[in-house]
Structure 1
Amino acid sequence: MGKDNYYNWRFFAVLTILVFASPLSVLGQKRCSTMEYEAYRRNQNPKMETSKIFENWLVKRIAHKKFTTPGAKTSAAVVTIPVVVHVVHMGEPVGQGSNISDAQIISQIEVLNEDFRRLNSDASETLPVFAPVADDMEIEFTLAKQTPEGLPTDGIVRVLSDQSSYGLRDAIKLSNLSYWPAEDYLNIWVTTLGSSLLGFAQFPVSSLEGLEDASNNRLTDGLVMRYQSFGSNTKGTFPSLIAPYDRGRTATHEMGHFFGLRHIWGDGNCSQDDFCLDTPSSSSEHEGCNLARESCGQLSMVQNYMDYTDDVCMNLFTSDQKERMRTVLESSPRRQSLTTSSGAIDPSLVTDDLGVKSVINPSLSQCGTTFTPTIEVRNYGTNDITAARVNFSVNGVVVESIDVNLSLAPLDTDTLTFSTVNDINVGSNDILFEVIETNGIPDNNPANNTQSLTYIVNTERVTSINETFEIFPTDWIVVNADASTTWLLQSAPGISQNNKAMMIDYFGYEDALGEIDRLISPPLDFSNASSISLTFRYAYVNRNDQQDRLTVAMSTNCGSSFENIIFDEVGPTLATSDAQETAFVPEDKSHWKKISINLDDFAGAQDVRLAFDAQNGEGNNLYLDDVVLEMEQQYDTDISIKAVLSPAAISCNNTFVPGIQIENPGRLTVSNFTAQYSIDGVQQATVEALSLNPGEEMTVEFPEITLADGQFEFDFQIVNPSGQTDQNPENNQVIAFQSINNTTEEAPIREVFKNTDLENTGWQVVNPDRDKTWLITPAAGNGINNNAAYINGYDYETTGEEDWLVSPVLDFGGANEASLTFKFSYANVNNYNDLLKIRVSRDCGETFDDPIYVKQSVALGVTTSSQPWVPAAEEDWRSEFVNLDSYAGYEQVRLAFVFENQFGNNLYIDDIEFFLTSDRDFPVPETNSFVIYPNPVINDNFNASFNLANKEDIHLAIFDSKGQVVYERNLEKTLNQTYTLELPQLINGVYFVKTAGTSLNDVQKLLIQK
C-alpha cells in the first residue's frame, strides 16, 4: 500500500481511528479518537472529561515534587520494564503476514530503548531551539525472561486466531486469547487491526485523586499494535512494515500514552495544553515533516514523539514529559509494580521443585456438598521428580495427605486426585493445597507450593428472587477476601423512611484499593424458564472522582466462575447523584437508580448464580436494594392468552368480533381447549378450539356482538387444555377494558380542562393496570384558577406501565394541514426515565401508529426536583408544537398522550389545541381577537388568524376607503384557525377588515401595496 493511503494513519492517546479509502478521504479523516475511546470505555463522566481528571491529578502530583523550572533536567534511576509480545495471527508461517518474525519484534524493542534513553541515531537532528529540553527518560524495555510461573521465556507468545481483524471494542477478546498479569508484564498485542487503526494504549491510573477507571481494567492494560507498524526497517528488512510508519515510532508514541503523556497539541487548540511547559502550544496535530511549521505564534515541536509526524521526523521527548512519566512510574500501581517485576530477571531454577499449577476441583462454589479435590502439578525444577507428598486442607484442618509416585521430567505436568469429600459444610470454606515434600525432601522452592481458594456451598435452588434486604438474607453469601470492610445491612432511607439495604463503606475502606467484595445469590434453576428479567436499585455518589465500581455477573456453573458480565459501571458514571465529600447516605428517591436487565440468554441453565461485585476505589458508600429476578417457566401442559386482538381499548364501532391470540408455551401438544369470555361479569360465549403444538399460536374468534356506547370490562379465559388442569393457570386469563364512543368534534379543537371530571371533557383514559392514571387537578402557573390533566408518576410504583389520555374523535376530513400545540410541566428526578409519547389513530382508536413524539425525563423536565412536582409559576410550563399533516383529510382521528412510568415524577398537560395549519410560526392573537398578516399586502393574498374562547360563526367583510364592500365571507365554527384570503381583484390602497361574531366585533386597517 502506498504512502498516500497510509498518510494519515497515526498515533493515538488511547486510540486513533482513521478510515482506509482514497488518499483524499484518508486525509479528510485526520483525527485522534482518544476521547472517543474514553467515552466507549466509561460512557464519559458528565462532570469532567476523564482526561482532565487525569491531568488534574498529575499536575498536583508533579507540583508536590516541586519541579518548578520548565525544562529542567533531572536524573533518576534507570528502570527496566518486562515486555511480553502476544503475536495474534491467522496461521501464517512465522515471518509472514501477521505472524511477524522474532527479529521484527526485537527491532521494535531496540527502538523503544533508543528513543526512551535518547540513544536514537537521529537525536543529533533535533532542532537547536529544542535540543536543551530533549531528555533521557531513563526507562528501558526488555522482552520478558521468565513466565508468570517462573519458567524461562523469550517474551514472545504466538497465538492462532480465527478473527480476521480487531478493532476498538476487541481489547478484551485479545486479552482472552493471551494475557500475562499486567502488574508484572507490559502486554503488547500485535495483530491485524481494522478501520485503519495503527494501535492504542491504556492510560495509567492510580490510587490517588482523579484518575479514571483503567486501574480496574487490568485485563486490557497494555498496547495493541498493527503488525505493519511494529518494528523498524532501519534494523533489518521486514516487508510487512509500511512507510512512513516503518521505524517503530508508533510504539514509542503509544508507550508515551501508556506512561501518561498527552498529545503535544492537547487534543484541542492553542488554549488546550498537554500540561508540559516545555512543549510549545499547537492548534492541531502535525503531519509529514515540516520543521519550519509554526502554530499558536511559535515554532512547532514537530519532532516530538507525541505528535502525528512521520517516523523519520520524530526524535525527542522533553524534560517535562519525563517528569510526567516518572511520576506515573512512582505512583500508578500497575506501572510502579512493573519496575520491580521478576519478569525482567532470568529465572533461577533449582532441583526438586514441584509446584501446584492450578486447582481443577473444587472451583469457587458449588450446589452440593460432595466433590473430588483435584489439582494440576508441574515440575518447575531441573531434575526429574519421582515422588511427592501433598496435603489437602479445609478450614485449616488437613483432610488428607497423599504420597504419590510421579514420573515428571522438567516442565512436565500431572493431575493429582484426592478422596471424594461428602460432607463439606454449607456456606464458606477455606480450601488449601500444599506440596510438603518433593523426592523425599522438603521442596526447594516454597513460593509455588500452595494454591488456595474460598469454596462456597449452597444446596437448594430457587426459581425467583424478591430480595428487599429488610433483614440480612441467610441464603446469600458474602465473599470478603481481605477479611475487612464488606457488604452489610444498613439503614438506607429515600425509597421509604425505614428502608434498609445492603451497603459497602467505601468512604472508610482504606488501604485496600481494588479489593473486590462479592455478594452472591442463592443458586437459581432456569431449566424451565422461557424468559427471565432482573431488576435492582442502587445508590452511590462519587468522591474526588475515585473509581469505586459495581459489576453484576452471572455464573452458569453454580459459582465456579462468573464470566457473564451483565452490568458494569465505575466512578463518576456509577454515580446516581452529585458528588459529595462526606459519607453518603441516600436520603430521598432521587438518590436511587433502578436497573432492568433481560436475562433470556440464560434460559435453560440449571446452576445459575448472580453476583454483585463491589470494587474498592476508596470513594464513597454504595447501596444495593430491591433485587428482583423473575422468570416465566415452561411446563408440560400450558396454554396462554398472548394478546387480546379485539375489542380495542377505544373504539367507535358498536358491532365487532371479539378475538384473542392463543399460544402454547408448554412442552406437550394441547389436543383441545375451551375459550370463553364475559362482559361486566355476564358470560357471553364459549368456543371449543382445536389442537396446538408446542410453540405454536392461533387466533380464536367469538361470535359477533353489538354493544351500546359506554365502558365495558371483558374477561377472557382459556381452560381445560387436553382435558386437564393447566399447570400454569396464571396466563389463562386476561382482563380487557373497552370504551365505545363515536362522539366526533370537527377540528379545530381546544381543551383547557375547565371541567374537573375527565368524562365531561370528551377525553378518555386507558388504564390497563387499574392503578394511578390521568386525572384533572389544579395546576398553578398557567392562568388564574387553572386546571390541568395530571398523572401521579412520583408515587406510581408499577414501572413500565402506560396510561393513555385519548382525545375525542377528531374530524380532519376537510383539512389539508393540521397541527397540535400543548403545554406540559414536569420535573426530572435524577436517574429515572419517565416517557411522554404521542400516538395517533386514523381509525377512531382501533389501531394507533408508532409514536410521532417521544420525550424522556431529562428532555421533558422543565427543572429537576426530588420531591413530588407541582407547578407553581408560569416558568414551570413549556409549550410544544407537533405537525399532524399526515392525518389531515381523515375523519376519524384520535390522539393519545401516553405516559410510561419509570418511577419518576408527576406530569401535567394543559391547553391542548388542534389547528388546521401546520405553520408553527403564524401569529397567535390574544384571546377573542384576530390579526391580519402580512400587512401591508404585497401580492394577491393575506392571512386572517383567529383565537377565540369558543367556536363561533364569524362574518368577515372588507371595505374600501369609500365604505363599499369589496369582499365578504362567512367563517363557520371558527376557533383558532388561520384563513388565507386570495383577492387578486383588489388594487393598491387602504381597506378596512371588519369581523363580527358572538364575542368578536372588530375593524382593522389593511394596506395593499402590490
Structure 2
Amino acid sequence: MQLPQNQNRKETPEQFEKWIQSKREERKFLRAFGTQQTVLKIPVVFHVIHDGSPVGSGSNISESHIIDQVRILNEDFRRMNADTTETPSMFSNIAADSEIEFVLAKQDPEGLATDGIVRILGSQDVYRPDQEVRLMAESYWPHDDYLNIYVTDLSGANLGYAQFPFSNLSGIATELENYSRTDGVVLDYKWVGTNLSTGSFDSYGRTATHEIGHWLGLRHIWGDGGCGFDDYCNDTPEAGGSSTGCSTNKTTCESQDMIQNYMDYTDDVCMNLFTVCQKERMRTVLENSPRRVSLLTSHGLLEPIQTVNDLGIRSIVSPIQSDCMDDVTPRTEIRNYGTNSITSYEVLLKVNNVVIETISESNTLEPGQTRIVSFSPITLEAQISNEITFEVSQVNGTSDQNSLNDQKNRLLSPFNIVEAPYYENFESNMDYFRITETGEESQWEIAAASYTTTDNQAAKAGFYEQTKNFGVRDFLLTSSIDLTGINSARITFNYAYAPRLQENQSDYFLDGLMVLISTDCGETYSDENILFERYGYSLKTANETSSSFFPIGKSMWDEISLNITRFVGQPNVQVAIVGVNGGGNNIYVDDLFVGNANLKEYDLGIKDISNISVVSCEQNTNSSLEIRNYGYATIDEMTLQVNANEETQEFIFNNLGLRSGESDNISLDISEFTVDGSNQFDIQITSVNGEQDQQAINNSVSFDVLIDQSEDYFPLKEDFLYPKWTTFSPDGTNQFDNMT
C-alpha cells in the first residue's frame, strides 16, 4: 500500500503518559457527543482496466470480487467488520464508526442505469504508478460526481495508491495535490476483495480501505517519519515506522503500536479499526473539500429516471473553444432517454440567453438512439464571452417528461487573437475573461494595490476568509496570443501575497497561484503545461498577517519570469493566471507580459555539478553535470571538453532533445583523469548541434579534487610542528599556513 511521500514536518515528541491522557480526553468527547451523526454516502464507480482476459480472469476481475470489496469497505468504515473483537482493549474505546458508506453508482454521467462497473481494454497490460495520467485517461467519470476506483495490473510490488484531497487540515497542506484528472484510487487487481492467492499475504480488501483513507485525508500512523513525526491524530500512538505481518505486541516510541489501524502496513487479517480523530478528519474532508463534498449530492446515488417522452441533450458538438473562430455552425447531439419511440421534437439554440433558432424535425428515435441536430451558421461577437445553450422544448407534440437533461450550456471565452507582445497592467477595464472550473462566480477583480505608486491597480483574487468555491481553480485568462512571429518567448508578471496562519494551529491557509498555458484558445489546460505553482507559505512575498492583505509598496511584490519558448510558432496561445481559494488571504497580480524573450539561438550552460568528493582516498569519481538550455533552439547534440592535469579529452552527447528552458543531468566519469594529490579540472561546452555556443559566460565550470591515500593510526595527535598535514581548497584558494 504505497503512496508517494512529500516533505513531512517534525513535531515535538509526546511521551506515553501524555498520549494516554489524550485517550481520556477522547473518551470524554465520545460520552459528550455520542449521538449518531448523519451517514455520508459516496457513489463509487470501478474502472476495470484489463489486458483482454475474459471476465473473471486475471486483471479483468469478476463482478463478485467488486461487490465483495464494497461490502468490506462498508463494514470497515461503519465498524461492522467481524474482527472488531480483535481490537485490543486499550484501543477499543477510541475505535470509531466513521458513518461513511459506499454505494455502487446507480446512474452513469448521462443519467442512465449502471451497475457501477466499467470494463476497458487497456492500452497496455501493466501500469506504473507514475503512469496515472495515462491510466485514468482510459476511462473517466466526473470526479465531482463519483469516487473513481481504478483496478488494473500494477507494476512491481505496488498494491495501490490514492491522491490526497485539497484541504487546510494539518498534514495535508504539504501534499499539494489538487489535480482533478488524477483524483481517485488505484488498486492492483489481486488486492480487490477477498483473495487468498495473492502470492503474498492474504487479501481481505483492506488495501482499498487504506487507500480511501488517504483519499479522505488520513496519513500513515507513523507520520511517514517515525517517532516525533505526526499523523495529526492525537488518539493514534506514535510509531517508529510501518508494521508488517501481525506483530500484535510491537512497541516503539515508548508505547504500544496500533498495528490494527487501517493506516498501517499490517497484513489485512490484522487490520480492524479507524479512530475517533480519523473519523472526524475524514468527515471534515468529505464535507468541505473539492471533489469530495459534491459527492454527497451526486445523482450517482439516485435511481435513474425512466419515463416516456424523454429526449435529452447528450453533448454540444459545436461550437467548442478550440474552434478558435467566431464563424461557427452550431450542432448538438440528442438522445432518446425514454421508454417509448420519439417521432417529432423541437430543439432551441440560444446565444447569451436569446433564442436564435428553433429546429423542428420529424424523425424516429428508438430508446437509446442518438442524432445530430445542425443549426444555421452564425457569427459570434469575438470580443466578448458567449454562452451557447441547446434546449429541448417539445417531444412528440408535448412537453418533455424529464427536465433534468433538457438543456446543456457552454460558455466560450472571447475569440479575439492578438500578436505578441501582450501586456496588461489592470489600470483600466478588465480586458480578460474570468471563470472558475466549476462555472461559479469568479473572485478576480480590479483593486487598488500599491506598487511603485500608491494609486496602482492590480488584479485581486479576494480569498481572505472566503468559503465559497474552496479549493476551486479560478481562471484569469488573456486573449489568444499569436506567437508565430518570434524565435523565443517569455511570461513575466508581479504578484503579492501574505500568508495567514490558521487559528490556534501551526499550519497556513493553502491559497494557491498557478500559471497554465493552452494552445487551443483555452479549450484545454493540461497538467504538463503548468508553468508555475505555489501554495500557502511557499507563495509568500510579504510577512504573514491575520488581517486581509493589502500590499503597500514594491518590497511586498515578487517578479516572476517564465520561459515559454517551446510554445513559439503556436498561433492560439492563451495564458491562464489561476488562483486557488484556500480561504486564507488575497492574491494580487500585476504587469502581465507575454512576448519575445530575446534569447540566443544556441546557449547551453552548465548550471551545476554534483557528486564531486572534494577529498577522497579513491580515484573513482562519477560526477553529475546539470546542463540547461538558455537559448531558443532545441539542443540535440553537445560536445564537452574536459581539461585535467594537462590532459584534454572530448565527450559527445547525442539525442538530448533539450527544449528551451529545460534542464537535464548527465553522468560524467572523470576518474581516468585523477591522480594522487591535487587535481585541477576545467569542464567546458565547446559546441552545440555542431555550432559554437553563443553565450560563453555559462559554458564552463572549474574545481579541484584531492586524492590522498595516505594513512595514519589512532590515537592521532597533531602539534603542527612538522608539516604532516595536506592543505587544500576545492576552488584553489588555500587559506591555511603552517603556524610557527
Using the size of structure 2 for normalisation, the TM-score is 0.74
Matched with 2:278 is 321
Q: Output aligned runs, 1:523-602, within 5 Å.
A: 523-544=480-501, 545-563=508-526, 565-572=529-536, 573-602=538-567
**Letter of the 1:467 counterpart:** Y
Is 1:152 paired with 2:113?
A: yes
**Letter of the 2:451 counterpart:** P
Q: Please state how far the C-alpha of 1:290 moved relative to its aligned partner.
A: 2.4
Q: Please state how far the C-alpha of 1:838 moved relative to its aligned partner.
A: 12
User: Please, which of 448, 453, 462 is the counterpart of residue 410 of structure 2?
Assistant: 453
State how far apart, in whole Å, the 1-side matches of 2:578 and 2:440 are.
14
Alpha carbons of structure 1 residues 273 and 416: separation in structure 2 relative to 1, 3 Å: same
**Letter of the 1:553 counterpart:** L
State how far apart, in whole Å, the 2-side matches of 1:504 and 1:132 are.
45
Matched with 2:665 is none
**Letter of the 2:194 counterpart:** S
State how far apart, in whole Å, the 1-side matches of 2:426 and 2:96 are.
61
Q: Output aligned runs, 1:245-284, within 5 Å.
A: 245-284=202-241
Matched with 1:673 is none
State how far apart, in whole Å, the 1-side matches of 2:483 and 2:393 are.
43
Is 1:615 paired with 2:580?
A: yes
Q: Please state how far the C-alpha of 1:335 moved relative to its aligned partner.
A: 3.4
Q: Output aligned runs, 1:451-530, within 5 Å.
A: 451-462=408-419, 464-469=420-425, 471-472=427-428, 476-479=432-435, 482-483=440-441, 485-488=443-446, 490-493=448-451, 499-507=456-464, 509-530=466-487
Matched with 2:263 is 306
Q: Please state how far the C-alpha of 1:67 moved relative to its aligned partner.
A: 6.2
Structure showing the higher strand proportion among its residues: 1
Q: Output aligned runs, 1:231-380, within 5 Å.
A: 231-233=193-195, 241-332=198-289, 334-364=291-321, 367-380=324-337
Q: SS where residue 406 of structure 1 aligns?
A: coil
Alpha carbons of structure 1 residues 357 and 568: separation in structure 2 relative to 1, 3 Å: farther
Deviations 1:15-70 (A, max 9, x none): 1xxxxxxxxxxxxxxxxx5xx2x45xxxx8xxx689x9xxxxxxxxx999996359
State how far apart, in whole Å, the 1-side matches of 2:283 and 2:303 are.
25
Deviations 1:852-903 (A, max 9, x none): 47xxxxxxxxxxxxxxxxxxxxxxxxxxxx74889xxxxxxxxxxxxxxxxx
State how far apart, in whole Å, the 1-side matches of 2:254 and 2:380 are.
79
Alpha carbons of structure 1 residues 366 and 472: separation in structure 2 relative to 1, 3 Å: farther
Alignment size in residue pairs: 630
Q: Output aligned runs, 1:955-966, within 5 Å.
A: none
Q: Please state how far the C-alpha of 1:603 moved relative to its aligned partner.
A: 3.5
Q: Please state how far the C-alpha of 1:141 moved relative to its aligned partner.
A: 1.9
Deviations 1:360-414 (A, max 9, x none): 2122476443111111112221222222111111222111111122332222222
Is 1:101 paired with 2:48?
A: no
User: Please, which of 90, 107, 112 is the counterpart of residue 51 of structure 2?
Assistant: 90
User: Please, which of 84, 97, 103 is the counterpart of residue 142 of structure 1?
Assistant: 103
**Letter of the 2:104 counterpart:** L
**Letter of the 1:384 counterpart:** S
User: Please, which of 76, 82, 85 is the counterpart of residue 124 of structure 1?
Assistant: 85
**Maintained 8 Å contact 2:171/2:231:** no
**Maintained 8 Å contact 2:449/2:552:** no
Q: SS where residue 444 of structure 1 aligns?
A: coil
Q: Please state how far the C-alpha of 1:184 moved relative to its aligned partner.
A: 2.5
**Maintained 8 Å contact 2:422/2:481:** no
Q: SS where residue 385 of structure 1 aligns?
A: coil
Alpha carbons of structure 1 residues 479 and 146: separation in structure 2 relative to 1, 3 Å: closer
Matched with 2:385 is 428
Matched with 2:606 is none
State how far apart, in whole Å, the 2-side matches of 1:381 and 1:435 are.
14
User: Please, which of 192, 201, 210 is the counterpart of residue 153 of structure 2?
Assistant: 192
Deviations 1:120-162 (A, max 9, x none): 3333333455445444333322211111221111111122332
State how far apart, in whole Å, the 2-side matches of 1:290 and 1:492 are.
61
Q: SS where residue 305 of structure 1 aligns?
A: coil
Matched with 1:387 is 344
Is 1:217 paired with 2:179?
A: yes
Q: Please state how far the C-alpha of 1:442 moved relative to its aligned partner.
A: 0.8
Alpha carbons of structure 1 residues 168 and 472: separation in structure 2 relative to 1, 3 Å: farther
Q: Please state how far the C-alpha of 1:421 moved relative to its aligned partner.
A: 0.4
State how far apart, in whole Å, the 1-side matches of 2:99 and 2:142 are.
24
State how far apart, in whole Å, the 2-side matches of 1:410 and 1:387 are.
14
State how far apart, in whole Å, the 1-side matches of 2:698 and 2:440 are.
57
Q: Please state how far the C-alpha of 1:246 moved relative to its aligned partner.
A: 1.9
Tell which deviates more after alignment, 480-489 or 144-153: 480-489
Matched with 1:928 is none
**Letter of the 1:159 counterpart:** I
Q: SS where residue 593 of structure 2 aligns?
A: strand
State how far apart, in whole Å, the 1-side matches of 2:587 and 2:249 are.
55
Q: SS where residue 333 of structure 2 aligns?
A: strand
Alpha carbons of structure 1 residues 425 and 245: separation in structure 2 relative to 1, 3 Å: same
State how far apart, in whole Å, the 1-side matches of 2:463 and 2:64 are.
49
Q: SS where residue 105 of structure 1 aligns?
A: helix
**Maintained 8 Å contact 1:84/1:185:** yes
CA-based RMSD: 4.4
Alpha carbons of structure 1 residues 847 and 305: separation in structure 2 relative to 1, 3 Å: closer
State how far apart, in whole Å, the 2-side matches of 1:884 and 1:850 are.
20
Percentage of pairs with the same residue: 39
Q: Please state how far the C-alpha of 1:264 moved relative to its aligned partner.
A: 2.9
Alpha carbons of structure 1 residues 196 and 404: separation in structure 2 relative to 1, 3 Å: same
**Maintained 8 Å contact 2:289/2:471:** no
Structure 2 unaligned residues grouped into runs of 5+: 14-22, 502-507, 604-631, 638-660, 662-676, 687-694, 709-717, 728-733
**Maintained 8 Å contact 1:145/1:344:** yes
Deviations 1:80-103 (A, max 9, x none): 322111112233333333222222
State how far apart, in whole Å, the 1-side matches of 2:227 and 2:32 are.
20
Q: SS where residue 461 of structure 1 aligns?
A: strand
Alpha carbons of structure 1 residues 614 and 840: separation in structure 2 relative to 1, 3 Å: closer
**Maintained 8 Å contact 1:211/1:546:** no
Alpha carbons of structure 1 residues 129 and 535: separation in structure 2 relative to 1, 3 Å: closer
Q: SS where residue 550 of structure 1 aligns?
A: strand
Considering Cα pairs closer than 8 Å and 6+ residues apart, tell me whether 1 or 2 has the greater RCO.
2
Alpha carbons of structure 1 residues 96 and 592: separation in structure 2 relative to 1, 3 Å: farther
**Maintained 8 Å contact 2:518/2:529:** no
Deviations 1:407-431 (A, max 9, x none): 3222222211111003535312232
Alpha carbons of structure 1 residues 515 and 487: separation in structure 2 relative to 1, 3 Å: farther
Matched with 2:42 is 81
**Maintained 8 Å contact 2:426/2:459:** no
Q: SS where residue 328 of structure 2 aligns?
A: coil
Q: Please state how far the C-alpha of 1:577 moved relative to its aligned partner.
A: 3.9
Alpha carbons of structure 1 residues 281 and 817: separation in structure 2 relative to 1, 3 Å: closer
Matched with 2:731 is none
Is 1:399 paired with 2:356?
A: yes
Tell which deviates more after alignment, 432-441 or 315-324: 315-324
Using the size of structure 1 for normalisation, the TM-score is 0.55
Q: Please state how far the C-alpha of 1:851 moved relative to its aligned partner.
A: 4.6
**Letter of the 1:220 counterpart:** T
State how far apart, in whole Å, the 2-side matches of 1:88 and 1:560 are.
27
Alpha carbons of structure 1 residues 613 and 132: separation in structure 2 relative to 1, 3 Å: closer
